[in-house]
Structure 1
């Protein structure tokens, strides 16, 4: 979205950059634990709101264990205060070396026990409990290392199956928060029970959906950055040699012929020796920019190694390729760079051009362009030379 106010656009760009770069997966375990505590706090606010609604509506008292519900309201409030204190504690000690090793185990164990207690109170087989267990397990697997997560999951499963065993053998009540009248009369047909399940499920679903969407978006952004880094030369931001060869393979499969321009900066070693590698890098960057301004959208330019650059021109005759190379030569020749000593420096480049036909070996075409480049250097540099012989397949 583009706004007329440039400041607003800049602010949105900064937010987008922060969103893409501040990947949750790269957070420390303490910061991830703080995120889990905020989720715990949100769950307790949901619980408190649901229980207050029931207390204020006498018509609903018949469906719940009212004394237990009132007791749990105070318990939820105290727990929310405890969670808030834990958030402050974690934030205060987030940079301590011991915090990343100790606090996450305690916080996640605390979170798991609270979720198990809540699940038990509304029923271990209820849709809300099962849905929460699945979503939280998936989120935990994404956020934390497998070794750390599986230890917590194993503990949770042991407790969960123990509670199932105890409720099955009637050692403890099933879903003590609801009344026996509700549980004994097909709760799936009771509107209060259905709405309560949806009330618990929807916030969990939305929270997990938003977090997963953020993580997936940031993963895609990171993958795009990795892909870009694997394809480009870090100094010049042109394609690197490996990716250029991949693109050239695609061109050869889809085109009847293509031209190759191989370019080398003249006396580049002398430039490095005389003015330093920093200035040499500046020359390379400037040449890369100049070449990019002279090629067509269908052409591909890459840094081929050292001071060598290469251009692939799909479906282009030798004459047209020569014209493009000549334009590149002239614009480089006329470029002026200022050294750190405020001295204006001009430099030149030599070009070799070769053409391919369908199914010609790629390395052969590049080799012929390299031979043409060699002739350009032998004849005085700062010129374009063509390789005019017909190219044949290697035997």
Structure 2
């Protein structure tokens, strides 16, 4: 029971976690997944077959002489699936299994599905629709070379069965009784219901799988889009995204202010305490800046130990006040670098507003103000307009 629970939890985690997309699974994991689908399909077939045979109203439509043989085949099929799954989990680190499973698993699944299709009628729409559905899912999940390696012999298998059925060397739809096979299938409620019941799981699995893959693809695209905006270390926006936002503000002619800040003597932090400590300092400073921003304000890492604050619809005095608040909060920070040692840090700020004509202008003005703040002793706020400096 514990083993079964572990397997179920493993499958659930692989499917639900967006960090572990089905399309990114190894071929080995996809092969095991197909075997689980085979188990579910076999259980569904057994349920339909035994239930139909033991109900008085439906038993008349089944071939009683074929029942024992088909039942044994169904049980053997289920046992083969289960045994293969157990072996696949047990030998998952075996190189030989890793090589053969991506080919063996879909070949087994395809062969069993086609044989099952033959028993209910190799020509009927359900068999053909199942063949097409499984082929399409295979193209999505697997490498092309593996799918064509499997689909070619499976297709030949279908054609051979079709031929021998046509020349009456094989019975058509041996599961069903002669009474049903010599009647109009589409007018027989049991046949129609059976086709729906047998094909519905394939259809539902295909739809759910495609929907899941599309959802995970969208999720991954959203993650990629987010990663293209975010600085990996600090979790704030990166320079590229800040540039895009500034260009949008300029295009919409919205007023904004911009603050550049640089951590004072940060090189000494890396040289004396190591880069791991430097990274910890950058992360904490980013958190302090975010905590002091409005909802519409944007915090970004401009590069190295330099950060940028973008403040839409903020006046000059508001921007200076925010810069001073951030400076004060950073100065008060005690960043733990060991259980007994804390590090103090300070930052210099340069402020500019959208009175500048272009994105390059406002960044240049904020940068000049920042360097003026450093030249005047660091740990202070400076503001630059087109031709003048202001000091806070």
1:233 is aligned to: 231
Q: Distance in 2 between matches of 1:133 and 1:357?
A: 66
Alpha-carbon distance, 1:62 to partner: 4.1
Number of aligned positions between the proteins: 378
Q: Is the 2:15–2:22 contact (alpha carbons within 8 Å) kept by the matching residues of 1? A: no
Alpha-carbon distance, 1:114 to partner: 0.7
The 1:290/1:196 distance shift into structure 2, 3 A limit, reads same
The 1:153/1:15 distance shift into structure 2, 3 A limit, reads closer
Q: Distance in 1 between matches of 2:272 and 2:47?
A: 75
Alpha-carbon distance, 1:300 to partner: 0.9
Q: Distance in 1 between matches of 2:14 and 2:69?
A: 45
The 1:337/1:167 distance shift into structure 2, 3 A limit, reads same
Q: Is the 2:350–2:369 contact (alpha carbons within 8 Å) kept by the matching residues of 1? A: yes
1:370 is aligned to: 367
1:384 is aligned to: 381
Alpha-carbon distance, 1:276 to partner: 2.3
Alpha-carbon distance, 1:29 to partner: 2.8
1:3 is aligned to: none
Q: Are positions 1:161 and 2:159 aligned together?
A: yes
1:4 is aligned to: none
Alpha-carbon distance, 1:343 to partner: 3.6
Q: Distance in 1 between matches of 2:187 and 2:176?
A: 14
Q: Are positions 1:25 and 2:14 aligned together?
A: no
Q: Secondary structure at the match of 2:17?
A: helix
Q: Is the 2:77–2:112 contact (alpha carbons within 8 Å) kept by the matching residues of 1? A: no
Alpha-carbon distance, 1:259 to partner: 1.2
Of the candidates 90, 97, 101, which is equivalent to residue 95 of structure 2?
97
Does 119-128 or 296-305 show the bigger shift?
119-128
1:189 is aligned to: 187
Alpha-carbon distance, 1:17 to partner: 10
What's the TM-score once normalised by structure 1's chain length?
A: 0.87
Q: Secondary structure at the match of 1:304?
A: strand
Aligned-residue Cα RMSD (Å) equals 2.7
Of the candidates 171, 176, 179, which is equivalent to residue 178 of structure 1?
176
Q: Is the 1:19–1:218 contact (alpha carbons within 8 Å) kept by the matching residues of 2? A: no
The 1:134/1:331 distance shift into structure 2, 3 A limit, reads same
1:136 is aligned to: 134
What's the TM-score once normalised by structure 2's chain length?
A: 0.87
Alpha-carbon distance, 1:344 to partner: 3.6
Q: Is the 1:255–1:314 contact (alpha carbons within 8 Å) kept by the matching residues of 2? A: no
Of the candidates 194, 197, 204, which is equivalent to residue 199 of structure 1?
197
The 1:150/1:245 distance shift into structure 2, 3 A limit, reads farther
Q: Distance in 2 between matches of 1:378 and 1:119?
A: 82
Alpha-carbon distance, 1:198 to partner: 1.1
Pairwise mapping of residues 7-22 of structure 1 onto structure 2 (< 5 A)? 19-22=17-20
1:17-57 deviation line (CA, Å, top 9, x unaligned)? 96334433343333322222222222222222222223223
Q: Is the 1:20–1:217 contact (alpha carbons within 8 Å) kept by the matching residues of 2? A: no
Of the candidates 243, 258, 280, which is equivalent to residue 260 of structure 1?
258
Pairwise mapping of residues 1-395 of structure 1 onto structure 2 (< 5 A)? 19-168=17-166, 170=168, 172-340=170-338, 342-357=340-355, 360-389=357-386
Q: Is the 2:355–2:385 contact (alpha carbons within 8 Å) kept by the matching residues of 1? A: no
Q: Distance in 1 between matches of 2:273 and 2:54?
A: 82
Q: Distance in 1 between matches of 2:238 and 2:168?
A: 69
Alpha-carbon distance, 1:303 to partner: 0.4
Q: Distance in 2 between matches of 1:16 and 1:32?
A: 11
The 1:41/1:340 distance shift into structure 2, 3 A limit, reads closer
Alpha-carbon distance, 1:275 to partner: 2.5
Does 161-170 or 181-190 show the bigger shift?
161-170
Q: Is the 1:298–1:313 contact (alpha carbons within 8 Å) kept by the matching residues of 2? A: yes
Q: Secondary structure at the match of 1:263?
A: strand
Q: Distance in 2 between matches of 1:316 and 1:125?
A: 72
Q: Is the 1:44–1:80 contact (alpha carbons within 8 Å) kept by the matching residues of 2? A: yes
Q: Is the 2:15–2:21 contact (alpha carbons within 8 Å) kept by the matching residues of 1? A: no
Alpha-carbon distance, 1:16 to partner: 10
Q: Distance in 1 between matches of 2:338 and 2:15?
A: 33
